[in-house]
Amino acid sequence: MAAVGKEDHSPFTKYGKTIQDGDMVIAYVNPLDLQAVKIVKDGTMNNKYGAFDHNSIIGKPFGTRVLSKKGNGHITFLHPTPELWTACLPHRTQILYMPDIALVSSLLDLKPGAVVIESGTGSGSFSHSIARTIAPTGTLHTFEYHEERVLKFKDELASHDLSSIIHVNHRNVCKDGFGLTGVSDAVFLDLPSPWEAVAAAKETFKKGKVGRICTFSPAIEQVQRTCEELEKFGFYDVRMFETLIRRQEIKTLQKKPLPTRDNVTGFTKRESPKRKRDGQDDEDEEAAEGGEKEDEEAATGDKADQVVVSRTVQNVAGHTSFLVFASIFIE
């Protein structure tokens, strides 16, 4: 059952306004240079721009930009979030990124108070996102067969104050099962052979309500075997998704005029063969020229001369894995 009345002090689930002694912050230099730092009194952080005194950071609002002692560079100190942690965490395995995390969280119907089972803890990227979503009264039971990864993740949880929400287990669920019965609302499997854990996963779902499962597999052959096993054990509404990113680059360009007889080189204006009345032709030409000038002046403004366009950026990482979703009702 989900715990009730948990104390919530984690920066990943509760936001503060100012940086305090002992807080973890994300030191942001650029999108490719982020670092998690614990702020301590009289401490110092060093990077390519030089030294940054922790004392000059304590008491400042999150998001403050601080200059180095030499004044040759600055760092922005941000509040920790699962998204920022995913961008700077130490990689022990392949991790889930935000496009997949967002889709999985939505289709598994994760929400505060939910009990979730995750197998394949890895580097803990998805675990932090789950914890924020199900806090403050939810519980995540995460399983990892690699003992060293388990120990490192436990240390991270202790420093992030997430041990009350995330329970880490050293266990091979494909061989030994989960050891839990009738407790979960959702199950996520990030395993080499997820079909071997489907039977054990079925036993973990709560009775009398719909449970949801998701598997994360890089190969289509894994998807095929998993789908066969899901149908064998009574799962329904089996669906597969592939999350791809198509990033658009936005630019503002200057409009180019359409070709007309006035701006095309070599165009010869032909006079009208009709005879014009004396004096009338001069007046008509002046009126026409005046109208053209007004149109040109109306189109000379900044907004009128610019157009916003977009194009797809080609060097974007594509396929990561296939996501298989299914539901089950346990009577």
Using DSSP's 3-state secondary structure scheme, residue 6 falls into coil
* H-helix segments, the chain: 82-88, 98-107, 125-134, 147-160, 173-176, 198-204, 220-232, 280-298
C-beta separation of 14 from 144 below 8 A: no
In b/e form, how buried is each residue of 1-15, taking b as 16+ CB within 10 angstroms?
ebeeeeeeebbbbee
Q: Per the structure block, which two tokens stand in for 60?
A: 């400042």
Going by C-beta distance under 8 Å and a sequence separation of 6 or more, which residues neighbour residue 140?
A: 115, 116, 117, 118, 127, 130, 131, 134, 165, 166, 167
State which amino acid sits at residue 167: H
State which amino acid sits at residue 325: F
144 annotated ligand-binding residue: yes
SS (H, E, C) 144-204: ECCHHHHHHHHHHHHHHCCCCCEEEEECCHHHHCCCCCCCECEEEECCCCHHHHHHHHHHH
286 annotated ligand-binding residue: no
In b/e form, how buried is each residue of 68-79, taking b as 16+ CB within 10 angstroms?
beeeeeebbbbb
| DSSP 8-state assignment for residue 56 | G
Instruction: For residues 38 and 31, give the distance between their C-alpha atoms in angstroms, rounded to a whole number.
Output: 20
- Binding site for S-adenosyl-L-methionine: residue ranges? 144, 161, 190
- Binding site: residue ranges? 144, 161, 190
